[in-house]
Amino acid sequence: MKTRVLATRENLPGRGLARLSEAADVVAWPGTGKPGPLDLVALAPGVSGVLALGNDPVDGALMDAAGPSLRVIALASMGFDNVDRAAAAERGIVVTHTPGVLAETTADLTFALILTARRRLGAAGASLAEGSWELFRMHDYLGLDIHGATLGLIGYGQIGRAVARRAHGFGMRVLHHDPYAPDGDLSASVGLTTLLAESDIVSLHVPLTEETRHLISARELATMKPTATLVSTSRGGVVDEDALLHAVREGRLHSAGLDVFEREPMGTELSPLVAEEHVVTLPHIGSATEATRAAMIDLAVDNILDVLTERPARTPLPGSPAVPSTPAGTAAAPS
């Protein structure tokens, strides 16, 4: 009898899920929207692995429903705030994610947001579509330059460094704030206050943790230049959206570009930021190319197969073991 693996979605890019099905019995949640915790709990009993997208909930209740057979939770995402890492650690479960494969693609989208927000491309394109382009006026849709500007990167991992490489093509000065990343050829390490005060564009590249939740709030926005642009392709909770809305509306911040929000997906109950002319908003598509999304699923599947065949996971989360801390068929008792 094959090992059972739970996939939180049944329609995924590439051949990763088919490849997993050759080695395991895959039970997939059949819905078209985001599954709720109870939807996944009902499918979890007896599974040895979970393949989850980056915003699908993987909590202690799901782990308990799976029982002692659960060995690995593989996230098809760079972020990991959707999984209860403490609960996984208590049970000796490996948790993995997909760094590396999405860095360049997400950096591309980051720069697209910088260009679109700073040059007011969204508003200009909307006016054309509405038939409002009747005259050429020198003052219409004036944006701010990207070339020669100062870019501040909060978080300087794989994605941050990929954005820095692109910035050098625009002749930009690049700063970064990351306690784990010293100065380099592409960027100078500075304190957060210095970065916020000196940057024309601030781009966020940190995971969502208790330390980074609302890392950008009213105080940090007040430190930024009124001509600055804030861009986030990290996680929505890193930015206090109410504070950002007030800063843009009151002219204390030139613009923003957001691919992530505190509430995802939105449905028809849109964040008020979506309607702001000086805010560019996208539905969390930083990694959304055919090749990258397929590579993310492939890496998640590789992690599952490695652990289930008694090999170390390729990309465990920081702080997570690469192999389960308990023998197969047993689980550590939750503390």
Q: Which active-site residues does the annotation give?
A: 235, 264, 284
Instruction: Report yes or no: 287 and 293 within 8 Å, Cβ to Cβ.
Output: yes
**What is the maximal distance between C-alpha atoms in the chain?**
73
Per-position b or e across 299-332, b if 16+ CB within 10 A of its CB: bbbbbbbbbbeeeebbbbbeebbebbeeeeeebe
- CA 128 to chain CA centroid, nearest Å: 32
Task: Give the whole-angstrom CA distance, residue 47 versus residue 41.
Answer: 11
- CA 217 to chain CA centroid, nearest Å: 19
Reference 306, options 113, 104, 98, 94; nearest CA is 94
Task: Give the whole-angstrom CA distance, residue 250 versus residue 87.
Answer: 43
